[in-house]
A and B are shown apart, each in its own frame.
Chain A
């Protein structure tokens, strides 16, 4: 079945540091890939997505490239801010039938300090 593996957290960085959160996946077919962010006490918000190989998703300074050859979708940001502190989830869509069911990784907590 489908699965998503994320690097374990927490990741602690100083403000303006470079961020990488690794994500690899196992899937049949050609899933779409997503990064969601969860701020404390809230639901998940879509951060960015990529629907086919070599696509780059980007939003709010975050980027991730869909790498089919390495089955990866690593999240990067050049300069993090304290407000980026949250839990980040990598996910892929299950495209069997007509369902857009997501399989999530376990999440990576990011803590950014001044």
Chain B
């Protein structure tokens, strides 16, 4: 039973380029969450999605960041015109349901470096 799969593991982008991070949830999971971990900090919630719907994007920066979870295929976190401050580890998590006390299963993350 494969866990949450994220790719790529490491991504290097120059300032101004676009970054695309992919996340395939665990089999049977229809809820996906994206978190960002800045160096020496805890994880910060970014966005919560179900298939084809954004449920909560209260943690997403207002500009340049977008997320989707299409009917078919992985969830995508897209960062346009990256800046050095976007350098971080981005973690995806999934759960079978979104309710009370549902434990999240995390992927190994994508480490984005902006040069």
Contact = CB atoms under 8 A, between A and B. Distances in A.
B85 interface: no
Interface of A: 4, 32, 34, 36, 41-46, 49, 51, 89, 93, 95, 97-107
Contact of B56 (A32, A101, A106): A101
A32 B98 CA distance: 13
B106 A106 contact: no
Q: How large is the interface on B (under 10, 10 to 19, 20 to 34, 35 or more residues)?
A: 20 to 34
Contacts, number: 71
7 contacts: A44-B43, A46-B104, A51-B101, A89-B43, A99-B56, A102-B33, A104-B35
A102 to B, nearest CB: 6
B100 A34 contact: no
B43 A100 contact: no
Contact of A100 (B40, B91, B101, B106): B101
A100 B104 contact: yes
